[in-house]
């Protein structure tokens, strides 16, 4: 299968087309000739410069697995966040809304899982099984992160393996259980 271009993805020529989540977003349409939707892997990281990978041109960094994945995928190399804080940025990525629209201005404002969500649309309309692994910053709460899975399901995740931020010493997770 040929590698889709960023332009094709953004213009709606691939299975990612129409996965906006706002009012008036086109219904999710997928190619049913293969019988199942194509896999989508979305990697979203904190505090990683655009040039901190071999696949983005850094001659000193060795990142063979991510480089191999990027060679077969769509690599968005000119992205800009619309919010400097983690939670506000993640909420914008989940909802497709600007900070002034969703109201999560900083890491102390909890985002509302009832907001529009492209992940929920992929799950509910596109037939995808959705999974999040890592820190989400999409809810508040103490105790064990597994206690908050219902909130992540409201965002649209079928499954969640969540990890706390390194500064969140008061949260337990599947990883801390393993340790």
Catalytic residue among 86, 102, 108, 118: 86
Q: How many Å apart are CA 135 and CA 90, to the nearest integer?
A: 10
Q: What angle do CA 10, 12, 18 make, to 5 degrees?
A: 100
86 flagged as catalytic: yes
137 flagged as catalytic: yes
β-bridge pairing 171-172 and 159-162: unpaired
DSSP 34-99: TSSPPP------SS--TTSSGGGT-SS---HHHHHHHHTS----S---S-SSHHHHHHHHHH---H
Long-range CB contacts (< 8 A, 24+ apart) of 87-95?
Answer: 87/111, 87/137, 87/138, 90/44, 90/136, 90/137, 90/138, 91/115, 91/138, 93/44, 94/118, 94/119, 94/138, 94/155, 95/21
Catalytic residue among 21, 102, 118, 137: 137
Which residues are catalytic, by number? 86, 137
């Amino acid at each position: 299968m040929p590698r889709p271009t960023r332009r094709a993805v953004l213009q709606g020529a691939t299975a990612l087309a129409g996965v906006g989540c706002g009012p008036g977003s086109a219904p999710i349409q997928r190619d049913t000739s293969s019988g199942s939707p194509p896999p989508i892997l979305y990697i979203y990281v904190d505090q990683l410069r655009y040039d901190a990978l071999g696949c983005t041109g850094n001659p000193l960094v060795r990142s063979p697995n991510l480089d191999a994945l990027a060679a077969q995928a769509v690599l968005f190399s000119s992205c800009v966040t619309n919010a400097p804080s983690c939670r506000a940025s993640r909420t914008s990525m989940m909802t497709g809304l600007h900070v002034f629209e969703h109201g999560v201005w900083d890491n102390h404002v909890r985002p509302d899982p009832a907001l529009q969500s492209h992940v929920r649309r992929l799950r509910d309309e596109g037939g995808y099984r959705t999974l999040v692994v890592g820190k989400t910053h999409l809810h508040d709460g103490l105790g064990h992160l597994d206690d908050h899975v219902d909130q992540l399901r409201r965002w649209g995740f079928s499954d969640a393996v969540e990890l706390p931020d390194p500064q969140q010493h008061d949260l337990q997770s599947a990883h801390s259980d393993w340790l």
